[in-house]
Structure 1
Amino acid sequence: MHQLTEFSFSKRFPELPLISAALAEEHPDFVPLSFGFPAKESFLIPLLSEAAVSALQTQGLESLQYTGGTGPKKVNEWIKKRSELRSIQSENENILVTSGSMQAIDLATRTLADPGDHVWIEAPSFFGAIRQFSLAEVELTSFPIDEDGLRVDLVEQALIEAKVKGKPMPKMFYVMPNYHNPTGVNLSLARRKKLAELAYEYNFYVLEDDAYVELSFSGGFVPSIYSFGPERVIYISTFSKIIAPGIRMGWAIAGEQVINKMRMLKSDGSTSVFVQEIVSQFLAKIDFEQHVQYLTSIYRARKDAMVRSIHEYFGNEVSYQMPEGGFFLWLTFPAEVDTSEFMEKSLKNGVGYLDGKHFYLQNDELNHIRLSFTFCDEEQIRRGIQRIAESYNDYKNNREVLEEAL
């Protein structure tokens, strides 16, 4: 029997909190409103099966190699054509298919920034991106958002101050312009233009994470930030929300020099050419516009069910901005409330949510929860909101009793 000595692992791993609400408790009727997952009904299994069989029969000998088959070229062409709806003009050399959009975030960050460089983000921001930036050992600074998205005016003030006082300038600004995770808000057209202008003026890149762009309840699109600054923006998106997250496929669009450097850092080589073949054949078999309408019809109905339930069980106790698409609703409680303090009770009651502190750098605001309306059906959503309300009311009553005792 060998005696094990404690091993000294890499120091790059930051202290990161466990996001426990994402894990289902052992409850016979658990409602995971924490899960940012697509609806199970959105997975078109028969068509995916047909596409997989066709991929093997027609391109298998090529697409099962490291490189080969017609899939990658067809996927690139689809991305290029679809991106025109966001006012993005690109060529094949501007596109890199990645193993999910998280890989695109990782590659972009390591391409643009060294450890110790400064990256600016929104507050709140997607916790997965925050973790990725922490692992890249960059210095993070956050800026608030409102109902029109990122406060670009405050970003401009900070840039001016940094320049005047000789402070470090950002190498990159990470932003989610459409159906923001977690708040669901959209970045206004004027702010998109201004952020692109600032990127040119102060020589930084914008990392535009557009994961939810297809899921518009109105069917409308606003031009991308990329369209206003293609030399200083990296645009990323994903097939996870429109086909299935399990295929692990996203993409980045940027200038050729940036894409080439990202490709050099992509240690897994080409993103699975066989999966690209399946995706290309799947996209050829479906009416994509009809498919998107199907997705948004499901999610609109579930969002409406969530809103009705919030009004029924919370009344005027909470507030939110109505999401116009995407996956999430950001529920705001009175300022003195810490939503993590009734999470354990909620889990025991059979419902999961994500408390707001995970979306900030320094736990700036504790009175929010992120709710996903996509994974659970309408009846589950109603039960889940009822259970959160019951847990919150218990928390509030207990706190009132404690305050009276003091």
Structure 2
Amino acid sequence: MEKLWYENLRLTGDKITFPRQIQVQIEAKIKKGHGPHNLRMPGIQELANSLARHNKLDKLYHDVEAAYKALCKTGILYTKGKIGTFISPDALPDEYEKSPLKQVADFSFNEQQLPEDTFITLGPYYPGHQVFNLPKPALRYEELHECSTGEPAQTKRMPDPDFHRLVHREVRSRCLNIQPSHLAIIPGAGMALRIVLHSLLSKEDKVILSGKCDSRLKELIRSTGAEIIEISSDQQGIRMTQVEAHCKMTRIKLVYIEPAGQYPDMIYLSPNRRDRLLQLSYLYNFAILEHNEEHGCYYSTPGRSLFDKDEKAKVIYISSVSRHTPWLHKLGFVLAPKNFIDHILLKSKYLYETWDVHFERAMIRLFQEGIFQRIIRKVNSLLCSIQKKAKKLFKSMQLTDYAALSDTRAGIFIFIHFPSDISTLIPKLIDSGFYDPPDPNLIPQHEITGLRISLYLGSQTRFSNLFKILKAHFKSH
């Protein structure tokens, strides 16, 4: 059965199901006390061919793809190998895909703006020009049975206490020393941010943040009726002298910070300034919103989060369980004083009306078996390796002051602002498959000085190949 089980699958509407006798066999194995067995999951094309043969239908690829994605969204863990680091571009699309290029290009190094028309983007590579290739995940009999029955997922009002306990344990393992009553699990870090802002702010409240913060964040704050005070920032983040100056002039309700720098146009707040900001919050009685949605609880320096240092309940911390695993990224959480946690849980009960019990059960098992922890360790090791290579490359190309590497939930992004024209590099990038111009007949003829390189996690070989091309180009010039 293990070899041929998927040949018995059926495509019914947007559901992939299998005959009742297969369900009976699976249930019998479970009842006999057999441990969960790993089943090899076929790729989309392989599964489409199998279904086409069995159902005598042609052109099933897109239907199977849609059904496979639905299966993916139920909370089943996709892996590369046994505990690999796969990121599905469809589950986590490029964060800039729907944004105007100007928003991507508008960043600066040493106060030098990079104009839109001097900037090109090197996107991820998909073999055969397909959107993506699904990996072969390890599925458990239980999840297969639950996901293939076609029954609607059960719902309930709040996450299971065991699930809350496991998430709390995971958060504590990341240098955040909190009590369970100070943790709220919210479906999605973005929704967590929205709920916190609308619970905390009211009309005419004043919020301090960096002028370089994302425009969508500013729109969200303005939707509460609050007033935004934008201040300047440097390599160490927002300037504490300006924060204090505004506090002396008017009452500040909230200061928003991003504790780790993912993009050149975002805030990086140094450990010393984090400590100073905490002191100012005690002195002038304002709240601090530490939004660590991308960084996923991890700090690249020994510095602790402000929430972990806070002694007077001034800091609210928002993040997700992991930015690199789609099903963990769905789990946003808020750390805050107990009275505020009780308030937002009361205000956001409607969020749990569609809470998926099957997803929760699968997540509990995967947490208990330590699978996510192994994936996270492997991802962090990969990121360290790429960061070392990137820094070495930047140094050899004398670009240390003009380049930045960002590790986001969707993969690796490198921004480079070259001090001179790199137009002669473009044909090499096209030939090697790294650059796909919008129109092959209209290759930029003007001066190009900026690159944004996008590489999904797991593409370390391709990352190394790109480095070789860049190094060879600059050695010959």
Does TM, normalized by the shorter one, top 0.5? yes
1:104 counterpart residue number: 192
Establish whether residue 234 from structure 1 lines up as the match of residue 306 from structure 2. Answer: no
3-state DSSP class of the match of 1:177?
coil
Establish whether residue 139 from structure 1 lines up as the match of residue 221 from structure 2. Answer: no
Relative to structure 1, the CA distance from residue 380 to residue 242 in structure 2 (aligned partners, 3 Å threshold; closer, same or farther) is: closer
For 1:65, give the aligned amino acid. T
Q: Is the 8 A contact 1:117 1:139 kept in 2?
A: yes
3-state DSSP class of the match of 1:170?
coil
1:258 counterpart residue number: 340
Establish whether residue 32 from structure 1 lines up as the match of residue 142 from structure 2. Answer: no
Q: Once the 2 structures are TM-superposed, how far is the Cα of residue 180 of structure 1 from its aligned partner?
A: 4.0
Q: How does 1:78-157 map to 2 (within 5 A)?
A: 78-85=166-173, 87-157=175-245
Which of 279, 286, 289 pairs up with 1:204? 286
In the alignment, the residues of structure 2 paired with residue 192 and residue 42 of structure 1 have an alpha-carbon distance, to the nearest angstrom, of 42
1:3 counterpart residue number: none
2:154 counterpart residue number: 64
Relative to structure 1, the CA distance from residue 288 to residue 186 in structure 2 (aligned partners, 3 Å threshold; closer, same or farther) is: farther
Which of 272, 281, 299 pairs up with 2:355? 272
3-state DSSP class of the match of 1:120?
strand
In the alignment, the residues of structure 1 paired with residue 395 and residue 134 of structure 2 have an alpha-carbon distance, to the nearest angstrom, of 28
In the alignment, the residues of structure 2 paired with residue 153 and residue 199 of structure 1 have an alpha-carbon distance, to the nearest angstrom, of 13
**1:335-391 Cα distance to aligned partner (Å, 9 max, x none):** 999xxxxxxxx9x95279xxxxxxxxxxxxxx98865554572465578899999xx
3-state DSSP class of the match of 1:268?
helix
Query: How does the TM-score come out when normalised to structure 2?
Result: 0.54
Q: Once the 2 structures are TM-superposed, how far is the Cα of residue 175 of structure 1 from its aligned partner?
A: 1.1
Q: Once the 2 structures are TM-superposed, how far is the Cα of residue 319 of structure 1 from its aligned partner?
A: 1.0
2:436 counterpart residue number: 350
Higher helix share: 1
2:140 counterpart residue number: 50
Whichever of the two has the greater Rg, that structure is: 2
Higher RCO, 1 vs 2 (CA within 8 Å, ≥6 residues apart): 1
Q: Once the 2 structures are TM-superposed, how far is the Cα of residue 53 of structure 1 from its aligned partner?
A: 1.6
Structure 2 gap ranges (5+): 1-97, 105-120, 125-131, 422-429, 439-448, 472-477
Q: Is the 8 A contact 1:152 1:195 kept in 2?
A: yes
In the alignment, the residues of structure 2 paired with residue 185 and residue 328 of structure 1 have an alpha-carbon distance, to the nearest angstrom, of 18
Which of 343, 358, 368 pairs up with 1:284? 368
For 2:246, give the aligned amino acid. A
Q: Is the 8 A contact 2:262 2:408 kept in 1?
A: no
Establish whether residue 188 from structure 1 lines up as the match of residue 270 from structure 2. Answer: yes
In the alignment, the residues of structure 2 paired with residue 118 and residue 124 of structure 1 have an alpha-carbon distance, to the nearest angstrom, of 17
In the alignment, the residues of structure 1 paired with residue 353 and residue 182 of structure 2 have an alpha-carbon distance, to the nearest angstrom, of 15
In the alignment, the residues of structure 2 paired with residue 64 and residue 110 of structure 1 have an alpha-carbon distance, to the nearest angstrom, of 29
2:303 counterpart residue number: 222
For 2:379, give the aligned amino acid. L
Relative to structure 1, the CA distance from residue 246 to residue 239 in structure 2 (aligned partners, 3 Å threshold; closer, same or farther) is: closer
In the alignment, the residues of structure 2 paired with residue 51 and residue 204 of structure 1 have an alpha-carbon distance, to the nearest angstrom, of 51
Establish whether residue 172 from structure 1 lines up as the match of residue 254 from structure 2. Answer: yes
1:319 counterpart residue number: 402
In the alignment, the residues of structure 1 paired with residue 466 and residue 225 of structure 2 have an alpha-carbon distance, to the nearest angstrom, of 38
**1:232-287 Cα distance to aligned partner (Å, 9 max, x none):** 11111103414315862211011122112222332323572523332222111225
In the alignment, the residues of structure 1 paired with residue 469 and residue 330 of structure 2 have an alpha-carbon distance, to the nearest angstrom, of 33
For 1:32, give the aligned amino acid. G
Task: Pick which of 191-200 and 99-108 moved more.
Answer: 191-200
For 1:64, give the aligned amino acid. Q
Q: Is the 8 A contact 2:262 2:407 kept in 1?
A: no
**1:196-227 Cα distance to aligned partner (Å, 9 max, x none):** 2222222221111123145556xx64221112
Instruction: Give the paired residue count.
Output: 326
Q: Is the 8 A contact 1:181 1:328 kept in 2?
A: no
1:363 counterpart residue number: none
Q: Once the 2 structures are TM-superposed, how far is the Cα of residue 152 of structure 1 from its aligned partner?
A: 2.4
1:19 counterpart residue number: 99
In the alignment, the residues of structure 2 paired with residue 324 and residue 196 of structure 1 have an alpha-carbon distance, to the nearest angstrom, of 27
Which of 369, 376, 382 pairs up with 1:298? 382
In the alignment, the residues of structure 1 paired with residue 217 and residue 123 of structure 2 have an alpha-carbon distance, to the nearest angstrom, of 22
Q: Once the 2 structures are TM-superposed, how far is the Cα of residue 295 of structure 1 from its aligned partner?
A: 0.5
Which of 71, 74, 85 pairs up with 2:162? 74
